[in-house]
Structure 1
Amino acid sequence: MKWTIYQLHQMPKQSFEFDETVELNELTKLNSDIRRISPVRVKGRADIKSKQVSFDFTISGEMLLPCSRTLVDVPYPFEISTKELFIFHHTDDIEDDDVHIVEDDTIDITPIVKEEILLEIPMQIFCESEQEKGAAPQEGKDWQVISEEDKKNQVDPRLAALEKLLKQDDES
């Protein structure tokens, strides 16, 4: 998704809409958590002014991420809305970090799309069922994964004798 400044100034209107589908399979190499990513749809609008272009667009697609508990593939749909501003020439009065300076007279929003997708990856994601095929084991020799409810109901073995004494006092 590239446009030159010349192309933008040749537009018959001061704005245009775009709707493109992009393959971003290289994201699987940039972040090992992304096991697969579907073609990404980028849809939005660009408003052209004499010295700047502002883009308002939505990025949508689906990526496959590992479950934090079982390592099973979990589909993670995403829809990201963003606004980006490109300035044609650098000026000293610009202090905003969200402003991009156009280099080589070309505007390319693909790196921004990649960055937004990478920032959208959650810290943890969980599959619906712990019994998924291919999931990591939930128990083994002398250990098992327990839930918060199980932990609350479980009595510390060191205090089991005290609990028996308390029950005897309640009965008498």
Structure 2
Amino acid sequence: MSRTSHICLMAEYNEWMNARLYEAAINLPIEKLNANRKAFFGSILGTLNHLVVADTIWLKRFAAHPANYVALDMIRDLPTPTSLDQMLFTDIQSLSEHRKSLDQAIIEWVHSIDEHDLDYVLSYSNMKGIPAQKNFFSLVMHFFNHQTHHRGQATTLLSQAGVDVGVTDLLALIPNETVA
């Protein structure tokens, strides 16, 4: 599998899992969504907001790639989050709609990445202003890994609230192949 094909699979998994999380969370009462469950970002809503915040930050950085990805135009226009625990949305419905638009932009973006784009060294500064220059492919892999990490936390928080998200493994989306 090529690197670009793998990235497309990761974007598909990202969209699929986010849909499952929000489907599981959307009917919970606001008290359960906001309950401090002692996670990194406190609550279910805090964790889901963190994912949107981090995705926005990374997608804005990816939008600076010289390939000038058109699919990231809507991201360029979003305000830059000011902290990793920023609550961009206080209700699950608005957060869910925004998540869907982000996931659609991610799907469109990854399908526009060329293999040679992945060798670029992206320069950016982190939230503390510390500059970095890192391989674009490695950063994209970090982007998807970060999402998986916090979605794992979100599934635990949902389980604590009495909601089973069901199957969460990437394996469910990896197609079977014919053995030669």
Task: Please report the TM-score for the alignment, with normalisation by the length of structure 1.
Answer: 0.20
Whose radius of gyration is greater, 1 or 2? Answer: 1
Higher-RCO chain (CA-CA 8 Å, sequence separation at least 6): 2
Higher helix share: 2
Higher strand share: 1
